[in-house]
Amino acid sequence: MWKPCFTEVLVVLDATRFLIENAQSFLRDEPVPHGSLAMKTKTGRILREPHGVIGIVSPWNYPFSIPAVEALAALVTGNAVVLKPSEFTSLVARGLESFLRTAGVPQAVFQAVVGDAATGAALVNSGIDKLVFTGSEATGKRIAQAAAARLLPVVLELGGKDPMVVLDDADLEVASSAAVWGAFVNAGQTCLSVERCYVHRSLYEAFLEASVEKTRKLRVGNGLDAQTDMGPMIHERQLRRVEAQVEEARIHGARVLTGGMRLPELGEIFTLRPSWPTPLTKCGSCGKRPSGRCFRSRLR
């Protein structure tokens, strides 16, 4: 899983700076004027108080920036935090815990607990006062159901199906570069990645040709190599999932114009060579809605 290491660090630094500069102002009591004449002699104010203990369940694709930003926001507003990271990135969570401990945050105020889905379920059903979850829609639904039983406040950031729209006045060079970067950054394992494109018919052929050409030029290899454009996926299960969905696209009529196969010479969990399928249907010409899981659910 490749990306510049400093990207996650910069995100956390930006969030830290924002909290330092704004925490005092948004925690300050806020006076509330009364609109009723009968209440003109009364005063009101909004008091912001900590929830208590915040549970955070974080994903593997951005294992430092996501939990760090969420934990720092919770801590600066007076809460304690229990972090349950993905079982695939537990060491990163331990590193975050070490950083906070060095900065003076007591163990009772921030703790990381490692484990699989059962550990996450135990956290949801524990005595926490609020839960922040980033992950799949299916898991988010189960968490929402469990939380509703005791009216536990939750924040859910779930998977989407992010489209890119290319209008008829778009710069093809910029648009095709944006599509390729947006689709394959972090080996495509990003919640905001481009997963489908809607292109104006007047630009479609040229846009497709440029995007395929740029995709073919991506260098796949060791994520620690500065010359690498795209590294391995997180694990074999994720690789099989993408393989299955590429195959489903084929079944529904798509043609894979480049890539789509494994690269065993690079390692067992290396990604498929970056692929660029044709559309499952040209919506503007046939008038039908695209079908298949590839158009409904996250590919990565």
Active-site residue, 5 included: no
pTM of the predicted model as reported, rounded to 2 decimal places: 0.83
Measured CA distances, 127 to 51, 54, 124, 139, 210 (Å): 12, 10, 8, 20, 54
pLDDT one-digit tens code per residue, 281-291: 444 444 444 55
Query: Could you tell me where the beta strands, DSSP code E, fall in the chain?
Result: 30-32, 44-46, 53-57, 80-84, 110-112, 130-135, 154-158, 163-166, 196-199
Instruction: Determine contact, residues 128/99, Cβ cutoff 8 Å.
Output: no
Identified catalytic residue from 8, 97, 191, 294: 191
Instruction: List, for the chain, all residue ranges whose pLDDT scores fall below the cut of 70.
Output: 1-5, 267-300
Query: Nearest 5°: phi and psi at 95?
Result: -65, -45
Phi (first) and psi of residue 191, to 5 degrees: -65, -20
Say which of 157, 213, 247, 248 is annotated catalytic. 157
Q: What pLDDT was estimated at residue 276? A: 60
Residue type for position 120: G
Could you confirm whether 197 is annotated as catalytic?
no
Closest CA to 60 of 237, 218, 179: 237
CA proximity to 82, closest of 38, 49, 114, 44 = 114
